[in-house]
Amino acid sequence: MKRVPVVELSDCILCEMCTDICPKVFTMNENGYVQVEPLDTYPRGEVDEVIKNCPVDCIQWEEQP
Ligand code: SF4
């Protein structure tokens, strides 16, 4: 099982906090939406910080096979 951060795009207000704080994980794609980069492992502390600070609480960890 792998822990991956997932963004609920329908709630995201594109404040860009996540892409500013943790740009190796969260980027803006060409359509103007936040995207989670495909990484083997995610920096837990940094992602937890972003999750805590997202103003609309739309990022969460998901377990993936
Ligand atoms: S911090 Fe939350 S609301 Fe802001 S851009 Fe990232 S996912 Fe969207």
How many CB atoms lie under 10 A from the CB of residue 50?
21
Q: Determine whether the shortest distance from the Cβ of 12 to ligand 1 is under 6 A.
A: yes
Domains of the chain: 2-64 (3.30.70.20)
Q: Determine whether the shortest distance from the Cβ of 13 to ligand 1 is under 6 A.
A: yes
Q: Determine whether the shortest distance from the Cβ of 25 to ligand 1 is under 6 A.
A: no
Q: Residue of the nearest CA to atom 2 in ligand 1?
A: 54
**Looking at the DSSP assignment, which residues form a beta bridge with residue 59?**
7
pLDDT for the residue 65: 83
pLDDT tens-digit profile of 16-59?
Answer: 999 999 999 999 999 999 999 999 999 999 999 999 999 999 99
Q: Determine whether the shortest distance from the Cβ of 18 to ligand 1 is under 6 A.
A: yes
Report the C-alpha gap between 61 and 44 in whole angstroms: 10
